[in-house]
């Protein structure tokens, strides 16, 4: 699935190189949609490569071919993977930048050069649900860095997929979790994933909401919206000597911040990046398998690949308002 600099998304056949001796070839089954990072790339808010681009950074599929030097995988293995290392060339000769590149029916993955970019998928995990594994892994990684204690009051600002992953990870640690968002559907899902209470910020002041649970503020606040104008208000929800997690991706542009809110509270701040690697991914799959992470509740849309461009156009135009978690099904391609 290709996106050009005019933010037009379309399906097109591309030319792939021959598999190298250190790669595996994977027939993609499902790839997970990211409405945050992917659309920051589509809108050129952040850049990982020149247009045209092929986005997507999480998928599952079946190993079809194995390079001569690869010993850990065999044809028929189900795997999860973070990226596509194929050099994709359009029929015009134009090369596409794989900025993840998992929204494709086929992936070439450098299993020797980047062994942590993929792994075997546990048999008892739902394949569709597993294809969105990165977001709960990101949330778990942020929680793991902050190390909250059992009984801590934790506030998650933004109940998108990363925020929902963080909510579940906090609840599984025994924290009291409050979730704040503007979307009623996301907030209801937050309750299913372990939030004790929810705040619809359209109708309730977040600071007043948190003070009902502790007048001094929260032990931990995770800012998961990726909106820089939410950083200072979120810090103001922290108690003295609390912790603050910059869980969102705020892009490369400078943003304005105030010194006194974190200074006066003597906060400890954390800057997690990426999904925590193999330990967090494997933990997420274990939690999915056990039912401790009922991640299937976040999947609101599963679309065949030929309908994916229309879904991406609707997301980009802001007309698909009921999407929480989305999956592209590549089985018919």
Rounded average pLDDT per 10-residue block, the chain, 333 residues = 97 95 98 93 92 97 97 97 94 94 97 95 96 98 98 98 98 98 97 98 97 98 95 98 94 88 98 96 97 97 97 96 96 86
Q: How far apart are CA 7 and CA 107, in angstroms?
A: 23
Residue 189, CA distances (Å) to 80, 196, 295, 297, 298 in order? 25, 12, 10, 7, 7
CATH superfamily membership of 2-121+296-329: Medium-chain alcohol dehydrogenases, catalytic domain (3.90.180.10)
- Nearest CA among 86, 81, 110, 76 for reference residue 16: 86
So what's the pLDDT on residue 145? 98
Q: Give yes or no for a contact between 322 and 300, defined as CB atoms under 8 angstroms apart.
A: yes
- Nearest CA among 73, 58, 95, 76 for reference residue 24: 73
CATH superfamily membership of 134-270: NAD(P)-binding Rossmann-like Domain (3.40.50.720)
> At 207, which helix (H) or strand (E)?
helix 206-211
Task: Return the structure tokens found at 302.
Answer: 């599963």
- DSSP percent split of the chain into helix, strand, coil, nearest 5: 30, 25, 45
So what's the pLDDT on residue 251? 78
Task: Return the structure tokens found at 217.
Answer: 């503020």
Length of the chain measured in residues: 333
> At 198, which helix (H) or strand (E)?
strand 197-200
Point out which residues pair with 25 in neighbouring strands.
Answer: 65, 108
| Residue 241 CB burial class (10 angstroms; 0-12, 13-18, ≥19) | exposed
| Residue 189 CB burial class (10 angstroms; 0-12, 13-18, ≥19) | buried
So what's the pLDDT on residue 333? 82
So what's the pLDDT on residue 4? 96
So what's the pLDDT on residue 266? 98
The full set of domain ranges for the chain reads: 2-121+296-329, 134-270
So what's the pLDDT on residue 332? 83
CB neighbours of 22 closer than 8 A, spacing ≥ 6?
A: 67, 69, 70, 110, 111, 112, 113
So what's the pLDDT on residue 32? 98
Q: Give yes or no for a contact between 182 and 227, defined as CB atoms under 8 angstroms apart.
A: no
Residue ranges of the alpha helices (H) in 77-146?
127-130, 134-146
């Amino acid at each position: 699935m290709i996106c050009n600099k005019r933010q037009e998304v379309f399906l097109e056949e591309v030319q792939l190189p021959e598999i190298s001796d250190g790669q595996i070839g994977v027939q993609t089954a499902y790839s997970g949609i990211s409405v945050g990072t992917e659309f920051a790339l589509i809108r050129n808010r952040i850049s990982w490569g020149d247009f045209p681009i092929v986005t997507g950074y999480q998928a599952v599929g079946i190993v079809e071919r194995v390079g001569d030097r690869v010993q850990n995988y065999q044809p028929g293995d189900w795997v999860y993977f973070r990226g596509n290392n194929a050099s994709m060339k359009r029929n015009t000769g134009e090369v596409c930048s794989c900025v993840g590149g998992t929204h494709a029916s086929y992936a070439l993955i450098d299993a020797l050069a980047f062994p942590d970019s993929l792994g075997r998928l546990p048999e008892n995990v739902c394949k569709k649900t597993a294809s969105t594994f990165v977001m709960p892994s990101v949330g778990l990684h942020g929680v793991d860095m902050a190390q909250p204690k059992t009984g801590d009051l934790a506030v998650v600002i933004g109940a998108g997929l990363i925020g929902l992953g963080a909510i579940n990870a906090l609840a599984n640690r025994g924290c009291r979790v409050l979730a704040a968002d503007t979307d009623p559907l996301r907030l209801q899902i937050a309750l299913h994933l372990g939030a004790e209470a929810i705040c619809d910020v359209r109708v309730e002041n977040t600071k007043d909401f948190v003070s009902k649970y502790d007048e001094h503020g929260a032990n931990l606040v995770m800012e998961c919206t990726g909106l820089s104008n939410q950083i200072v208000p979120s810090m103001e929800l922290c108690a003295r000597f609390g912790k603050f997690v910059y869980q969102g991706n705020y892009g490369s542009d400078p943003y304005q911040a105030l010194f006194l809110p974190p200074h006066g509270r003597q906060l400890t701040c954390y800057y997690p990046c990426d999904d925590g690697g193999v330990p967090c991914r494997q933990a997420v799959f274990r939690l999915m398998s056990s039912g401790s992470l009922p991640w299937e509740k976040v999947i609101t849309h599963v679309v065949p690949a030929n309908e994916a461009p229309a879904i991406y156009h609707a997301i980009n135009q802001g007309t698909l308002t009921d999407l929480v978690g989305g999956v592209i099904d590549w089985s018919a391609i």
